[in-house]
Amino acid sequence: MRRDAPIGVFDSGVGGLSVLREIRARLPHEALIYLADSGHVPYGEKSPEYIRQRCRAIGDFLLEQGAKALVVACNTATAAAVADLRERYPQLPVVGMEPAVKPAAAATRSGVVGVLATTGTLQSARFAALLDRFASGVRVITQPCPGLVELIERGELRSDDTRQLLTRLVQPLLAEGCDTLILGCTHYPFIAPLLREIVPAEVKLIDTGAAVARRLDSLLAARALPGESAAPVRFWTTGDVQLMAKVLPLLWGEAASVSFFPG
């Protein structure tokens, strides 16, 4: 495996760009490929087997592009498919996501933690195992968020519809005394500024993008695979190329060309 080979990062849509930002910040000398499976978004209401099929198709494509590592920048896809991907590609580091239950349990003062996530993530065995392992003595209240991913996919980070939906989702958590909110989907960091306007200032918002970048860094170093020179990120989507190109400056911070992946 060449050190200058790219890292393949993918998500059900554009949400994983929040993780890609953290990877670029920590590993500025890595070549990166990002694939948004926006033609099949959202994953949260889909069956685990459907998600595994999508992840296999995307993983095979990223390997064809020469990827030296895979980052599953999606909590729902990680829950459904990361074990399958590690078995399918034993030669590659495969890094997944999981809701930040451990740091949230350590951070809460009220003992009440709220989780904003997709239905698929909240119903997964992986999430249940996280609660069993790290949430002892803490009350965890979960809130599925149907419709929120779709708004973010369209770049509606501050629209009235997004504000109204987000307010409706977090009010029950606040009413129960939640003082720590886990952003359990990689799309959600993009609406963190809006969320900060809705929840009290003392409520902590926690996501795991930086932790994923640290884990990737560690795995590449252990395999003597760190990159040596940056290259422009290559973007692909299974959805609307023009729409992704339109939201990239908003979510990624700069414009870029986007290619279509029909798989």
Asked whether residue 111 is domain-assigned, the answer is yes
- The per-residue pLDDT for 5 is 94
Please check whether residues 149 and 69 belong to one and the same domain.
no
Q: Considering the domain boundaries, does residue 2 fall inside one?
A: no
199 and 128: one domain? yes
**Residue appearing with tokens 């760009």:** 17
**Do 92 and 113 share a domain, yes or no?**
no
| 85 and 214 part of one domain | yes
In this structure, are 229 and 246 located in the same domain? Answer: yes
Is 221 contained in some domain?
Answer: yes
pLDDT of 196-232, one tens digit each?
Answer: 999 999 999 999 999 999 999 999 999 998 898 878 9
Q: Which residue has the tokens 């040596």?
A: 228
Same domain, 108 and 178: yes
Which of 183, 206, 229 lies at the terminal end of a domain, its last residue?
206
Same domain, 38 and 165: no
CATH number of the domain within which 179 lies: 3.40.50.1860
What's the confidence (pLDDT) of residue 9? 98
Which domain covers residue 122, as residue numbers? Answer: 101-206
DSSP 166: H
pTM: 0.94
Residue 175 falls inside a structural domain: yes
According to the model, what pLDDT value does residue 2 have? 87
Among the listed residues 55, 145, 178, 185, the single catalytic one is 185
Same domain membership, residue 242 and residue 157: no
| Spatial CA neighbour of 158 closest among 193, 199, 118 | 193
Distance CA 115, CA 124 (A): 14
Catalytic residue among 55, 74, 145, 178: 74
Tokens 């109204």 sit on residue: 164
In a domain, 92, yes or no: yes
Question: Do 239 and 251 reside in the same domain of the chain?
Answer: yes
Same domain (yes/no): 92, 107: no
With a cut of 70, which residues of the chain have pLDDT below it?
A: none
Specify whether 185 is catalytic. yes
Contact 72, 10 (CB under 8 A): yes
Under 8 Å CB-to-CB from 109, ≥6 apart: which residues? 179
Residue 38 lies in a domain: yes
- 137 lies in the same domain as 170: yes
1: in domain? no
Query: Which of 162, 188, 206 is at the close of a domain?
Result: 206
Same domain, 218 and 230: yes
